[in-house]
Chains A and B, each alone.
Chain A
């Protein structure tokens, strides 16, 4: 199983992703510098969290023009799973690989805390190992994580079952109180039309060890690894 972890100037969760994939899943994971023009030959591509280009202007607005993003688009079209986490999600939206945008948190401040997610789709390569309605405890850490899209887009996401995760409380209730940033429809993660691109604000790579408070994030990486295995057979 070969993971590519993109590295933009200002990425800061790239090392966490690489280490988690290697140490907790024995996967092969390589950093890929933003100036590379190819990401061929990987089973999955991860756009990690951080502050690419300082998040100046808008989160992900400048990173989307990195040479590597053209290659990522090609791979995505070829069906390779692409996972955008936090800043990675923002970049994928700016790059048009996912619809909508992530704007300033409703509360204006950066928030770092454990939150709960309800799994809404278990047919994607990122969520296969889970059950619909399953509640995951995973941290968020962002200042611009409020998902916005126009009504038609939201309708399409709902109808086509493209919402992967929603913010909820510990019992799985999706409510305004359990929405940390004001995201429309409590959206925490969405899929592209083909289902091989996932963007999510929460950090699954921070929830893969008991000692860090939760192992619920493993589900995303285990799903990816299973799907890759399946693909090989």
Chain B
């Protein structure tokens, strides 16, 4: 078959710079052929090589005494949770595919992260999702399109996760112009395994057979490379899909078959085929194993005829795995996959020469040193613009907001509104482990396999990161940890998803660098190593780059079931307290954004030392049985947090509180978003004890009032604002539903 010649256009269309091309010639000692060029282009892409972000990612703390598999070593990190058990978890983005085809884009994102987890030998047990869209309110610009994206993404996640039988037990969802046309779809998956079950993605054992298992390869996901291979298949260009279609049913079978197979001991190495499918899995396993690999494309199960080596190697068909089998155990593999009605083929062998050798029958179509594609991929130290901190907001320039009207207004804004419309579409109960499901600070899940109570939260704040990237980085880590603390959990580790614009722009790269440094600093403070993550760059829409949006998912452990704590007030007659430092300003607050349409100010800084002390002291109080509920103040400040405490339980519980006079304006006091503040409730019998406990540990603790009645009333300087819970509930619980019921939904493509 005739391959196109390598011209400068072809090279640049592959996103390869002249310098990189010279480097390729140096490695091969010759010009690459077309197929090899394709291989280098995907392996040296940001997606696979992290060439623009790797130096920054090195700043994350990655060690700790619970770490069993370090970040970057394998598909996902693994953490010890005691008694010989461990967890593997990771977050991954599917932003661009979701923008093109929200349903399938989001669905295949879920499929990909699940494969990353069971590739480690872990049984996936739950999911979380972190979502961002353009405005969806009635008359917002582009609302109709944004609603369709939201509706498509949510049903895509539901379709895949529900079908596999994984509960989606938590997440976060934001709405802002900056994400119009470039939604963020980050999905997290956690799995559990015994220490001795950890599987490796390394091609070990010269002569071991290499198996391809799972779905047949088609021309999926090739549009990215289509331009370059146009000459190859002019006719099929038209219907060559940019977006892969997921098959959760196949994935479920693949999951069960792979775990069964791993248990049999026949596997020497295993690796999922994600981005750059066959290419990435073969050279990565080889380079991890310090070995070579030799495969014949003619043996690969295919969905279509006449696929070229280039197409087969770059295809991103879903639900496929590469398995290195211990010699002599081939039949065991064939039997497992027969039982599960899955295609399975021996396509090659592990070799000792460090070369990735690809054949099409008798013809060798590519021959590349495996490590040159992975470890030796180029790394760039991008230039960072320097930064002048934003002006502190002049509060006088903000007309004082009518507090009475502002609270229901904020609670009805899609970003703060209850996300029930979303999480009810997810089976968040399957596996019978969702002890605290969606709707509280952190979700708590009983992993029945190991009897452990795991807590998890995913957080990010693009607005704060835009104003102050370092603080944005610190803050999302601190909030995730705080959410865990509120649920009674000790944080163990974190995984991050860096959603940024084009890193070639110095100001964007600066955002990336500073945000990462902020996250790293915070992860050190909380003693939570980063076990892995994902980088999504070039998130831009016609009006420019998105607000920088680092997202962190943190996982914690609750040793004693009795310590599981929720955010909702339990019953009338309890004391209500505020923990944490006083602060001021509406800088970077949702009130300023929603009520005044301003993204301004210098967000209050997270004091990590104080934050750590606060969270430790809260956990001690929870263990001492002093705490009935705990909720951190996030978007919407103390007023929104109080409302959530009243409204988020099975039954609404009212409260009458008085805020301490910090000499602030009413709207400032109620809605400023200083981090590090937590609202707790406790039994009156413990009043003295509780006050002493926090005071003795140097944690500011202030008595606010008591739970009672059917209203929320907040007093300040002798003036009292009162809201009926019924009204607040309707605003908060109904907002998203009402908006989405009016959606002209496209017919789901399944």
Question: What residues make up the interface of A, taking CB atoms closer than 8 Å to B?
Answer: 9-10, 12-13, 15-16, 19-20, 49-51, 53-56, 108-113, 139, 141, 143, 203, 205-206, 209, 211-212
Kindly identify which residue among A9, A110, A211 contacts B249, using a CB–CB cutoff of 8 Å. A9
Q: Is B428 an interface residue (CB 8 A)?
A: yes
8 Å CB contacts to A: which residues of B573-587? Answer: none
Q: Is B387 an interface residue (CB 8 A)?
A: no
Q: Which residues of A contact B163 (CB under 8 A)?
A: 10, 12, 51, 54-55
Q: How far is the CA of A19 from the CA of B164 in the complex (A)?
A: 18
Kindly identify which residue among A19, A108, A141 contacts B429, using a CB–CB cutoff of 8 Å. A141
Stretch in B82-90, B224-232, B430-438 with 4+ CB within 8 Å of A: B430-438
Please state if B432 and A212 are interface contacts (CB–CB under 8 Å): yes
Q: How far is the CA of A54 from the CA of B246 in the complex (A)?
A: 11
Q: Which residues of A contact B155 (CB under 8 A)?
A: 109-110
Not counting A15-B431, A16-B431, a sample of 4 additional A-B residue pairs whose C-beta atoms are within 8 angstroms of each other reads A12-B164, A109-B158, A109-B425, A212-B432
Closest Cβ–Cβ distance, residue A47 to chain B (whole Å): 15
Q: Which residues of A contact B448 (CB under 8 A)?
A: 19
Most chain B CB within 10 A, of A111, A113, A211, is at A211
8 Å CB contacts to A: which residues of B445-467? Answer: 446, 448
Q: Which residues of A contact B165 (CB under 8 A)?
A: 12-13, 50-51
Across the A-B interface, the 8 shortest Cβ-Cβ residue pairs: A12-B165, A54-B249, A51-B163, A141-B427, A16-B432, A112-B427, A110-B425, A109-B425
Q: Is B341 an interface residue (CB 8 A)?
A: yes
8 Å CB contacts to A: which residues of B609-668? Answer: none
Q: How far is the CA of A221 from the CA of B60 in the complex (A)?
A: 51
When C-beta atoms are compared, the residue in chain A nearest to B432 turns out to be A16
Kindly identify which residue among B158, B248, B253 contacts A110, using a CB–CB cutoff of 8 Å. B158
- On chain B, which size bracket covers the interface? 20 to 34
Q: Which residues of A contact B677 (CB under 8 A)?
A: none
8 Å CB contacts to A: which residues of B129-169? Answer: 155, 158, 162-165
A12 and B428 contact, Cβ closer than 8 Å, known pairs A55-B163, A110-B162: no
Kindly identify which residue among B162, B340, B423, B424 contacts A9, using a CB–CB cutoff of 8 Å. B340
Q: Is B426 an interface residue (CB 8 A)?
A: yes
Q: Which residues of A contact B426 (CB under 8 A)?
A: 110, 112
Q: Is B296 an interface residue (CB 8 A)?
A: no
Please state if A139 and B425 are interface contacts (CB–CB under 8 Å): no
A51 and B249 contact, Cβ closer than 8 Å, known pairs A139-B429, A212-B434: yes
Please state if A211 and B435 are interface contacts (CB–CB under 8 Å): yes
Q: Is B252 an interface residue (CB 8 A)?
A: yes
Q: Which residues of A contact B427 (CB under 8 A)?
A: 110, 112, 141
Please state if B340 and A206 are interface contacts (CB–CB under 8 Å): no
Please state if A10 and B430 are interface contacts (CB–CB under 8 Å): no
Please state if A205 and B341 are interface contacts (CB–CB under 8 Å): no
Please state if B341 and A9 are interface contacts (CB–CB under 8 Å): yes
Q: Which residues of B contact A203 (CB under 8 A)?
A: 429
Q: Which residues of A contact B429 (CB under 8 A)?
A: 112, 139, 141, 203, 206, 212
A sample of 6 cross-chain residue pairs with beta-carbon separation below 8 angstroms, ordered by A number, consists of A13-B430, A20-B432, A51-B162, A141-B162, A141-B429, A206-B429
Q: How far is the CA of A50 from the CA of B248 in the complex (A)?
A: 12
Please state if B432 and A206 are interface contacts (CB–CB under 8 Å): yes
When C-beta atoms are compared, the residue in chain A nearest to B162 turns out to be A110
B728-750 to A contact mask, C-beta < 8 Å, 1/0: 00000000000000000100000
Q: Is B496 an interface residue (CB 8 A)?
A: no
Kindly identify which residue among A54, A55, A109, A212 contacts B435, using a CB–CB cutoff of 8 Å. A212
Please state if B249 and A111 are interface contacts (CB–CB under 8 Å): no
When C-beta atoms are compared, the residue in chain A nearest to B164 turns out to be A12
Q: Is B31 an interface residue (CB 8 A)?
A: no
Please state if A111 and B435 are interface contacts (CB–CB under 8 Å): no
Most chain A CB within 10 A, of B162, B432, B434, is at B432
Q: Which residues of B contact A143 (CB under 8 A)?
A: 162
When C-beta atoms are compared, the residue in chain B nearest to A51 turns out to be B163
Kindly identify which residue among A49, A54, A112, A211 contacts B424, using a CB–CB cutoff of 8 Å. A112
A54 and B248 contact, Cβ closer than 8 Å, known pairs A109-B155, A112-B427: yes
Q: How far is the CA of A112 from the CA of B162 in the complex (A)?
A: 10
Q: How far is the CA of A212 from the CA of B564 in the complex (A)?
A: 13
When C-beta atoms are compared, the residue in chain B nearest to A203 turns out to be B429
Please state if B252 and A10 are interface contacts (CB–CB under 8 Å): yes
A54 and B432 contact, Cβ closer than 8 Å, known pairs A10-B163, A10-B252, A109-B155: no
Q: How far is the CA of A211 from the CA of B432 in the complex (A)?
A: 10
Please state if B430 and A16 are interface contacts (CB–CB under 8 Å): yes
Q: Which residues of A contact B423 (CB under 8 A)?
A: 112
Q: How far is the CA of A10 from the CA of B250 in the complex (A)?
A: 9
Q: Which residues of A contact B249 (CB under 8 A)?
A: 9-10, 51, 53-54, 56
Q: How far is the CA of A203 from the CA of B429 in the complex (A)?
A: 10
When C-beta atoms are compared, the residue in chain B nearest to A33 turns out to be B339
Q: Which residues of A contact B424 (CB under 8 A)?
A: 109-113
Q: Which residues of B contact A211 (CB under 8 A)?
A: 435, 446, 561
When C-beta atoms are compared, the residue in chain A nearest to B256 turns out to be A9
Q: How far is the CA of A111 from the CA of B420 in the complex (A)?
A: 10
Q: How far is the CA of A224 from the CA of B490 in the complex (A)?
A: 42
When C-beta atoms are compared, the residue in chain A nearest to B154 turns out to be A109
Q: Which residues of A contact B434 (CB under 8 A)?
A: 212
Q: Which residues of A contact B162 (CB under 8 A)?
A: 51, 110, 141, 143
Closest Cβ–Cβ distance, residue B150 to chain A (whole Å): 12
Closest Cβ–Cβ distance, residue B710 to chain A (whole Å): 18
When C-beta atoms are compared, the residue in chain B nearest to A52 turns out to be B249
Most chain A CB within 10 A, of B155, B165, B428, is at B165
Q: Which residues of B contact A54 (CB under 8 A)?
A: 163, 247-250
Kindly identify which residue among A9, A110, A205 contacts B432, using a CB–CB cutoff of 8 Å. A205
